[in-house]
């Protein structure tokens, strides 16, 4: 199944959860936040949220800025 992750096509297994994706990307111990289809996905829902085909996923972090 394909989703869009930070603007690029990305394959995940059918029914993959947000938590699985975070683990796969080795972002588990990083400060990140996630949005699916332009709506915030709280960390508390990572375990239960299952991606659907075509979900547009954004994973963000803090960088330097003014």
Partner 1 sequence: MSHDSLTVAGRTFHSRLLLGTGKYQDMAQAEAAIQASGAEIVTIAIRRSNIGQDPEQPNLLDVVPPDRYTILPNTAGCYTPRDAVRTCQLARELLDGHNLVKLEVLGDEKTLYPDVTGTLEAAEQLINDGFDVMVYTTDDPIIARRLEDIGCCAIMPLASPIGSGLGIQSHYNILSIVENASVPVLVDAGVGTASDAAEAMELGCDGVLMNTAIAGAQDPVLMASAMRKGIEAGREAYRAGRIPIKRYASASSPIEGTFF
Instruction: For partner 1, give the closer residue by CB, 14 or 31.
Output: 31
State the minimum distance, in angstroms, from the CB of residue 66 to partner 1.
3
Which pair of tokens denotes residue 36?
A: 């699916």
Which pair of tokens denotes residue 26?
A: 């080795």
Using DSSP, state whether 24 is helix, strand or coil: helix
The residue ranges that bind partner 1 (CB under 8 A) are: 5-8, 25-27, 30-35, 38, 40, 42-43, 58-66
Q: In which element (H, E) is residue 11 found?
A: strand 8-11
State the minimum distance, in angstroms, from the CB of residue 15 to partner 1.
21
Place of tokens 């603007």: 7
State the minimum distance, in angstroms, from the CB of residue 14 to partner 1.
21
């Amino acid at each position: 199944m394909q989703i869009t992750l930070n603007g690029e096509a990305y394959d995940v297994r059918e029914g993959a959860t947000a938590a699985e994706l975070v683990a796969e990307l080795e972002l588990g111990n990083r400060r990140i936040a996630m949005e699916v289809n332009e709506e915030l996905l709280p960390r508390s829902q990572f375990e239960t949220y299952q991606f659907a085909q075509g979900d547009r996923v954004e994973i963000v972090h803090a960088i330097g800025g003014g």
